[in-house]
Chain A
Amino acid sequence: AQTVTQSQPEMSVQEAETVTLSCTYDTSESDYYLFWYKQPPSRQMILVIRQEAYKQQNATENRFSVNFQKAAKSFSLKISDSQLGDAAMYFCALREPGNQGGKLIFGQGTELSVKP
Protein backbone atom coordinates (compact mmCIF):
# COMPACT_ATOMS: atom_id res chain seq x y z
CA ALA A 1 0.00 0.00 0.00
CA GLN A 2 1.16 3.49 -0.73
CA THR A 3 2.14 5.67 2.20
CA VAL A 4 3.37 9.21 2.72
CA THR A 5 5.36 10.21 5.80
CA GLN A 6 6.18 13.68 7.05
CA SER A 7 8.46 13.34 10.06
CA GLN A 8 8.47 17.01 11.08
CA PRO A 9 5.21 17.92 12.86
CA GLU A 10 6.37 21.53 13.29
CA MET A 11 8.97 23.76 11.71
CA SER A 12 9.91 27.36 12.26
CA VAL A 13 11.74 29.82 10.04
CA GLN A 14 12.80 33.42 10.28
CA GLU A 15 11.27 35.79 7.76
CA ALA A 16 13.42 36.02 4.60
CA GLU A 17 15.27 32.81 5.46
CA THR A 18 15.06 29.41 3.78
CA VAL A 19 13.37 26.33 5.18
CA THR A 20 13.11 22.74 3.96
CA LEU A 21 10.19 20.44 4.73
CA SER A 22 10.77 16.70 4.43
CA CYS A 23 8.60 13.99 2.93
CA THR A 24 9.17 10.33 2.20
CA TYR A 25 6.78 8.00 0.46
CA ASP A 26 6.34 4.42 -0.57
CA THR A 27 4.83 3.12 -3.76
CA SER A 28 5.31 0.12 -5.99
CA GLU A 29 4.55 2.14 -9.11
CA SER A 30 7.23 3.62 -11.35
CA ASP A 31 4.97 6.37 -12.67
CA TYR A 32 3.26 8.61 -10.15
CA TYR A 33 2.85 12.21 -9.11
CA LEU A 34 3.84 14.07 -5.98
CA PHE A 35 2.39 17.28 -4.63
CA TRP A 36 2.86 19.79 -1.87
CA TYR A 37 -0.32 21.44 -0.63
CA LYS A 38 -0.62 24.41 1.70
CA GLN A 39 -3.50 24.69 4.15
CA PRO A 40 -3.78 28.05 5.94
CA PRO A 41 -5.97 28.35 9.04
CA SER A 42 -8.91 29.14 6.76
CA ARG A 43 -8.66 25.45 5.70
CA GLN A 44 -8.70 26.01 1.93
CA MET A 45 -6.17 23.54 0.53
CA ILE A 46 -3.99 25.16 -2.12
CA LEU A 47 -1.62 23.39 -4.48
CA VAL A 48 1.93 24.73 -4.08
CA ILE A 49 3.90 22.57 -6.47
CA ARG A 50 3.77 19.23 -8.26
CA GLN A 51 6.33 16.78 -9.61
CA GLU A 52 5.89 14.04 -12.17
CA ALA A 53 7.98 11.00 -11.27
CA TYR A 54 9.16 10.48 -14.84
CA LYS A 55 10.72 13.93 -14.92
CA GLN A 56 14.26 14.11 -13.60
CA GLN A 57 14.28 17.87 -13.32
CA ASN A 58 13.11 19.21 -9.98
CA ALA A 59 10.00 21.37 -10.14
CA THR A 60 10.16 25.03 -9.17
CA GLU A 61 7.45 27.64 -8.65
CA ASN A 62 8.83 31.05 -7.79
CA ARG A 63 10.14 30.78 -4.19
CA PHE A 64 9.14 27.13 -3.90
CA SER A 65 11.25 24.25 -5.19
CA VAL A 66 11.50 20.54 -4.56
CA ASN A 67 14.32 18.06 -4.17
CA PHE A 68 12.97 14.86 -5.71
CA GLN A 69 15.08 11.77 -5.06
CA LYS A 70 13.24 8.91 -6.77
CA ALA A 71 15.53 6.12 -5.66
CA ALA A 72 15.34 7.25 -2.05
CA LYS A 73 11.60 7.97 -2.36
CA SER A 74 12.15 11.40 -0.93
CA PHE A 75 10.37 14.62 -1.90
CA SER A 76 11.33 17.69 0.11
CA LEU A 77 10.01 21.23 -0.28
CA LYS A 78 12.29 24.22 -0.06
CA ILE A 79 10.82 27.65 0.61
CA SER A 80 13.20 30.50 -0.07
CA ASP A 81 12.85 34.06 1.20
CA SER A 82 10.12 32.99 3.62
CA GLN A 83 7.24 35.38 4.08
CA LEU A 84 4.72 35.75 6.89
CA GLY A 85 2.02 34.53 4.50
CA ASP A 86 3.82 31.21 4.15
CA ALA A 87 2.75 30.23 7.66
CA ALA A 88 0.40 27.26 7.28
CA MET A 89 0.12 23.49 7.40
CA TYR A 90 1.96 21.86 4.53
CA PHE A 91 0.95 18.46 3.25
CA CYS A 92 2.87 16.16 0.97
CA ALA A 93 0.64 13.99 -1.24
CA LEU A 94 1.05 11.07 -3.64
CA ARG A 95 -1.09 10.17 -6.60
CA GLU A 96 -0.81 6.97 -8.60
CA PRO A 97 -2.31 7.10 -12.09
CA GLY A 98 -3.52 3.54 -11.74
CA ASN A 99 -5.86 4.49 -8.93
CA GLN A 100 -9.36 5.22 -10.10
CA GLY A 101 -9.56 8.94 -10.62
CA GLY A 102 -6.30 9.60 -8.91
CA LYS A 103 -7.13 9.87 -5.24
CA LEU A 104 -4.49 11.61 -3.17
CA ILE A 105 -2.64 9.97 -0.29
CA PHE A 106 -1.57 12.64 2.19
CA GLY A 107 1.10 12.78 4.84
CA GLN A 108 0.40 13.91 8.38
CA GLY A 109 1.42 17.47 7.69
CA THR A 110 4.06 19.93 8.88
CA GLU A 111 3.00 23.12 10.60
CA LEU A 112 5.24 25.96 9.48
CA SER A 113 5.52 29.12 11.50
CA VAL A 114 7.32 32.22 10.21
CA LYS A 115 8.90 34.59 12.71
CA PRO A 116 9.12 38.29 11.85
Chain B
Amino acid sequence: GAGVSQSPRYKVAKRGQDVALRCDPISGHVSLFWYQQALGQGPEFLTYFQNEAQLDKSGLPSDRFFAERPEGSVSTLKIQRTQQEDSAVYLCASSALRGRTRAYEQYFGPGTRLTVT
Protein backbone atom coordinates (compact mmCIF):
# COMPACT_ATOMS: atom_id res chain seq x y z
CA GLY B 1 0.00 0.00 0.00
CA ALA B 2 0.91 3.62 -0.24
CA GLY B 3 1.10 4.24 3.49
CA VAL B 4 0.82 2.74 6.94
CA SER B 5 -2.62 1.38 7.67
CA GLN B 6 -4.18 0.48 10.99
CA SER B 7 -7.32 -1.38 11.90
CA PRO B 8 -9.76 -0.98 13.38
CA ARG B 9 -9.90 2.81 13.32
CA TYR B 10 -12.17 2.80 16.37
CA LYS B 11 -12.60 0.22 19.07
CA VAL B 12 -14.89 0.26 22.07
CA ALA B 13 -14.19 -2.36 24.70
CA LYS B 14 -15.76 -3.12 28.02
CA ARG B 15 -13.37 -3.09 30.93
CA GLY B 16 -11.75 -6.48 31.25
CA GLN B 17 -12.00 -7.42 27.58
CA ASP B 18 -8.99 -8.24 25.44
CA VAL B 19 -8.33 -6.21 22.29
CA ALA B 20 -6.02 -6.61 19.30
CA LEU B 21 -4.88 -3.70 17.17
CA ARG B 22 -3.32 -4.26 13.77
CA CYS B 23 -0.69 -2.32 11.90
CA ASP B 24 0.30 -2.80 8.26
CA PRO B 25 3.56 -0.92 7.66
CA ILE B 26 4.83 0.35 4.36
CA SER B 27 6.05 -2.59 2.32
CA GLY B 28 9.73 -3.24 2.88
CA HIS B 29 10.08 -1.06 5.94
CA VAL B 30 12.39 -2.67 8.45
CA SER B 31 11.47 -0.73 11.56
CA LEU B 32 8.09 -0.55 13.21
CA PHE B 33 7.08 1.50 16.24
CA TRP B 34 4.00 1.63 18.44
CA TYR B 35 3.07 4.79 20.32
CA GLN B 36 0.25 5.61 22.72
CA GLN B 37 -1.35 9.03 22.56
CA ALA B 38 -3.62 10.07 25.41
CA LEU B 39 -6.17 12.80 24.76
CA GLY B 40 -4.49 16.18 24.43
CA GLN B 41 -1.00 14.76 24.83
CA GLY B 42 1.93 13.92 22.61
CA PRO B 43 2.53 10.33 21.56
CA GLU B 44 4.56 8.17 23.93
CA PHE B 45 6.75 5.32 22.78
CA LEU B 46 5.58 1.80 23.56
CA THR B 47 7.72 -0.65 21.62
CA TYR B 48 10.00 -1.11 18.60
CA PHE B 49 10.61 -3.91 16.12
CA GLN B 50 13.40 -4.39 13.66
CA ASN B 51 12.04 -6.96 11.25
CA GLU B 52 10.51 -9.64 13.50
CA ALA B 53 12.71 -8.90 16.50
CA GLN B 54 11.27 -6.80 19.29
CA LEU B 55 14.33 -4.81 20.30
CA ASP B 56 12.79 -2.36 22.73
CA LYS B 57 9.65 -2.78 24.78
CA SER B 58 10.60 -0.38 27.52
CA GLY B 59 7.52 1.78 26.98
CA LEU B 60 4.90 -0.91 27.48
CA PRO B 61 3.00 0.26 30.59
CA SER B 62 2.24 -3.16 32.03
CA ASP B 63 2.42 -6.87 31.32
CA ARG B 64 -1.12 -6.61 29.97
CA PHE B 65 0.38 -5.09 26.83
CA PHE B 66 1.94 -7.41 24.29
CA ALA B 67 3.14 -6.79 20.74
CA GLU B 68 4.31 -9.09 18.00
CA ARG B 69 5.52 -8.99 14.42
CA PRO B 70 6.05 -12.64 13.59
CA GLU B 71 6.96 -12.34 9.90
CA GLY B 72 8.57 -8.95 9.99
CA SER B 73 5.72 -7.11 8.32
CA VAL B 74 2.26 -6.86 9.96
CA SER B 75 2.28 -6.15 13.68
CA THR B 76 -0.37 -6.64 16.33
CA LEU B 77 -0.61 -4.84 19.65
CA LYS B 78 -2.66 -6.80 22.15
CA ILE B 79 -4.04 -5.45 25.38
CA GLN B 80 -5.39 -7.94 27.85
CA ARG B 81 -7.99 -7.19 30.53
CA THR B 82 -8.42 -3.61 29.34
CA GLN B 83 -8.70 -0.83 31.91
CA GLN B 84 -10.14 2.65 31.55
CA GLU B 85 -6.66 4.15 31.65
CA ASP B 86 -5.89 2.25 28.44
CA SER B 87 -8.24 4.57 26.54
CA ALA B 88 -6.08 6.39 24.02
CA VAL B 89 -5.13 6.56 20.37
CA TYR B 90 -2.59 3.91 19.42
CA LEU B 91 -0.30 4.99 16.61
CA CYS B 92 1.89 2.78 14.49
CA ALA B 93 4.85 4.07 12.50
CA SER B 94 7.32 2.45 10.16
CA SER B 95 10.65 3.48 8.72
CA ALA B 96 13.37 2.14 6.51
CA LEU B 97 16.00 2.66 9.17
CA ARG B 98 18.83 0.19 8.88
CA GLY B 99 21.51 1.88 10.93
CA ARG B 100 22.01 4.52 13.57
CA THR B 101 23.50 7.25 11.52
CA ARG B 102 20.61 8.52 9.44
CA ALA B 103 17.37 10.03 10.61
CA TYR B 104 15.05 8.13 8.34
CA GLU B 105 11.54 9.47 8.53
CA GLN B 106 8.92 7.60 10.49
CA TYR B 107 5.67 7.29 8.54
CA PHE B 108 2.63 7.19 10.77
CA GLY B 109 -0.66 5.41 10.36
CA PRO B 110 -4.01 7.06 11.15
CA GLY B 111 -4.18 5.40 14.56
CA THR B 112 -6.74 3.31 16.41
CA ARG B 113 -8.87 5.13 18.96
CA LEU B 114 -9.53 2.76 21.85
CA THR B 115 -12.27 3.59 24.33
CA VAL B 116 -12.65 1.40 27.38
CA THR B 117 -16.02 1.68 29.11
A residues at B contact (CB < 8 Å): 4, 6, 33, 35, 37, 42-47, 50, 52, 91, 93, 95, 97-109
Would you list the 9 A-B pairs with minimal beta carbon distance, nearest first? A106-B42, A45-B108, A33-B103, A101-B48, A97-B100, A103-B45, A100-B56, A43-B111, A100-B55
Contact partners of A97 in chain B: CB under 8 A: 100-101, 103
Contact B43 A104 (CB under 8 A): yes
Interface residues of B in 25-39 (CB under 8 A from A): 31, 33, 35
A91 and B103 contact, Cβ closer than 8 Å, known pairs A45-B108, A101-B48, A102-B97: no
B residues at A contact (CB < 8 Å): 31, 33, 35, 40-45, 48, 50, 55-56, 59, 89, 91, 93, 95, 97, 100-101, 103-106, 108-111, 113
CA of A4 to CA of B97, assembled, Å:
22
Contact B45 A50 (CB under 8 A): no
- In terms of DSSP, what is the predominant structure of the interface of chain A? mixed
Measured CB to CB, the closest approach of chain A to B71, in angstroms, equals 18
Measured CB to CB, the closest approach of chain A to B32, in angstroms, equals 9
27 CB-based A-B contacts, threshold 8 Å:
A6-B42, A43-B89, A43-B91, A44-B109, A44-B110, A44-B111, A45-B108, A50-B103, A93-B42, A97-B100, A98-B100, A100-B50, A100-B56, A101-B31, A101-B48, A101-B50, A101-B56, A102-B31, A102-B104, A103-B33, A103-B56, A103-B59, A104-B33, A104-B45, A106-B42, A107-B42, A109-B42
